[in-house]
Structures are given as structure tokens and as C-alpha cells.
């Protein structure tokens, strides 16, 4: 299926709604909620990069930005899990 701007926008709306519901219903201070936020932000970044910036046409740049985003989110998750609670 072709990735159109309307389809990208629909995905961004769905992921944004999921993030909002997670923020509303998740218990404060739970680690899984923070990791879920990071995963959702990674999905949103991928859809923005491929849908709006046109990286879907270039396999090299799509993979490069996906690798960079994944490494950044993994570092953020590690820092989040290592931070002292309180």
C-alpha cells in the first residue's frame, strides 16, 4: 500500500489518541507507561519521516533515520530506567 499524506495523518491521529489515553489512564510512576510513551513517539517519528518528509522513496535514508531514532530512543529508555525514582 502506498503511504499517502492522508494515511500518515490518520496514523498520527491514532497514535496521538493512544498517547493521550495512556497518559490519562496509566498509573503515575509506572515504568511501562514511560517506555510505552517512548515506543509511541518512535512510531510517530517514523510516520512523519516516511510520510511527510518523503523518506519512503529512499531506502538508505529511511534506514539511516530509523537507526538513529531507534538508538536515540534506546538511550532515552536506558536513562529513564536508570534514573532514581523519586
What pLDDT, on the 0 to 100 scale, is given for residue 50?
Answer: 87
Backbone angles phi, psi at 84, to 5 degrees: -70, 135
What are the sequence ranges of the domains in the chain? 5-82
Ordered DSSP codes for 10-44: HHHHHHHHHHHHHHHHSPTT-HHHHHHHHHHHHHH
Say yes or no to pLDDT of 86 above 70: no
For residue range 22-79, what is the model confidence (pLDDT) as tens digits? 999 998 878 899 999 999 999 999 999 888 888 888 899 999 999 999 999 999 999 9
Amino acid at each position: 500500500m502506498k503511504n499517502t499524506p492522508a494515511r500518515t495523518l490518520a496514523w498520527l491521529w491514532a497514535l496521538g489518541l493512544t498517547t493521550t489515553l495512556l497518559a490519562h489512564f496509566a498509573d503515575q510512576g509506572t515504568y511501562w507507561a514511560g517506555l510505552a510513551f517512548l515506543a509511541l513517539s518512535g512510531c510517530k517519528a517514523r510516520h512523519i519521516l516516511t510520510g511527510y518528509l518523503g523518506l519512503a522513496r529512499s531506502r538508505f535514508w529511511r534506514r539511516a533515520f530509523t537507526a538513529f531514532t531507534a538508538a536515540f530512543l534506546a538511550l532515552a529508555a536506558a536513562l529513564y530506567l536508570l534514573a532514581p525514582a523519586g
